[in-house]
Amino acid sequence: MSTLQISLAIAGGVVLAGVVTYNTWTSRRLLPKKPENAADTPAPHQGPSEPGELRQEPSMDGVSAEADASSLDLSHLPTPERKPGLDAMIDAITVVDLDTLVSGEAALAATPPTRRVGSKPFAIEGLNVISNDWETPRIGERYSAFQVGVQLANRHGPLNKIEFSEFIVKSQAFADAVGGEPEFPDMQAEVERAREIDQFANDHDAKLSFFLRARHAAWSPGYVLQNAAKLGFVPGALPGRLAMPSSTPGLPPLLTLNYDAQAALAEDPEESALREIELQLDVPLTRREEQPFQRLCEALQWLSQGMDGAVTDPEGRAVPEEVILSIERDLEQLYAALEAYDLAAGSPQTRRLFS
């Protein structure tokens, strides 16, 4: 072999080694980022939980599991909000007068098996003879009257005549079963009122969505969770969904973080590559006092820096600061409009209307 051939062979080997090294470096660089301590990171999806409520692992905070529960100081814990009852503003209500008292057991036996009329929630409340409060019938209680209601509108649209007719049939059947006499509202008036409320809701509904897109290396679901957990996000009810809980248990989350559900359900999620995640704020469902939009902006800024991502709108366009300021001004007007209509963001009635 000549000197030239030997030189060419050596040069070729060097080039080949360089190509192999570059390809190895490039492939590793493009692998999805994984959490640093995967064993300490919760699973991205931890099974089902109730809508509006988030799964949380129990924590004894140093208290022995055998400790007497009566000795624990629970005064610092927030009180769950009472389930909202029927409201004449957003419900069509039929009052059922009674000649005699009716037990909670009889009322529950007469309650229809389904609590919906078409796409609208249907509910029955009794006037408790002891507390004189309207409440969902309970075993062991007695009631002097009942009211049956159906919601006038939600995000599925307004109550229509077919749904109202179904409401009449269910209400009459309940009244007959408890020996009561129903007083039905006028169908046409209630359907018109439903359309008005639905129009108001359409004009004042708002869901804000921002995307964080990977600039270079993709992310694994565990890497996303590890970073989001530092801001207070926890696994939600659905695969590919994280949520930032409200300060009040049982209320809808302040923010949600969504990514590809298939990646969360993969046999080995940590081998899945995510190139974008979505942060979403459902404005009417979150209380103004909790400053959800500010929390959203902080989360976007923190995650974009920590995960090397670019903040964009749903169409992939960068979001300049002046757009953020414009959105904030529009939100203040929206909050004021909802409050003027006695439907403050995050209130029980508003959450029902925008459900």
What percentage of the chain reaches a pLDDT higher than 70?
A: 77
pLDDT in the model for residue 50: 40
291: pLDDT strictly greater than 60: yes
Contacts for 79-85: CB closer than 8 Å, 24+ residues apart? 80/248, 80/249, 80/250, 81/248, 81/250, 81/251, 81/348, 83/136, 83/348, 84/348, 84/349, 84/351, 84/352, 85/123, 85/125, 85/134, 85/135, 85/136
pLDDT in the model for residue 41: 55
Q: Which domains does the chain have, with CATH numbers?
A: 91-201 (3.30.1400.10), 204-353 (3.30.1400.10)
d(CA 89, CA 338): 14
Q: Rounded to 5 degrees, what are φ and ψ at 218?
A: -75, 175
> First vs last Cα of the chain: how many Å apart?
81
pLDDT in the model for residue 77: 44
* Residue of 186 and 6 predicted with greater confidence: 186
**24-28, 48-52, 281-285: which has the highest mean pLDDT?**
281-285
Closest of 214, 210, 218, 302 to residue 258, by C-alpha: 210
Closest of 212, 230, 208, 352 to residue 281, by C-alpha: 208
**C-alpha distance from residue 142 to each of 115, 236, 322, 344 (Å):** 22, 39, 59, 34
What percentage of the chain reaches a pLDDT higher than 90?
A: 70
pLDDT in the model for residue 161: 97
d(CA 352, CA 252): 11
296: pLDDT strictly greater than 70: yes
Closest of 303, 238, 315, 301 to residue 33, by C-alpha: 303
90: pLDDT strictly greater than 70: yes
189: pLDDT strictly greater than 60: yes
pLDDT in the model for residue 321: 84
Report pLDDT digits (tens) over 162-173.
999 999 999 999
CB contact at 8 A, 191 and 347:
no
What band does 3 get if pLDDT is binned at 50, 70 and 90? low
Report pLDDT digits (tens) over 109-134.
999 999 999 999 999 999 999 999 99
What band does 269 get if pLDDT is binned at 50, 70 and 90? confident
Mean pLDDT of 183-198: 98
The token pair at 301 is 């800024």
**C-alpha distance from residue 245 to each of 85, 137, 272 (Å):** 23, 30, 26
Per DSSP, the three-state class of 85 is coil
d(CA 184, CA 95): 7
53: pLDDT strictly greater than 70: no
DSSP letter at 343?
-
pTM across the whole model: 0.77
The token pair at 119 is 């796409």
What band does 63 get if pLDDT is binned at 50, 70 and 90? very low
pLDDT in the model for residue 76: 45
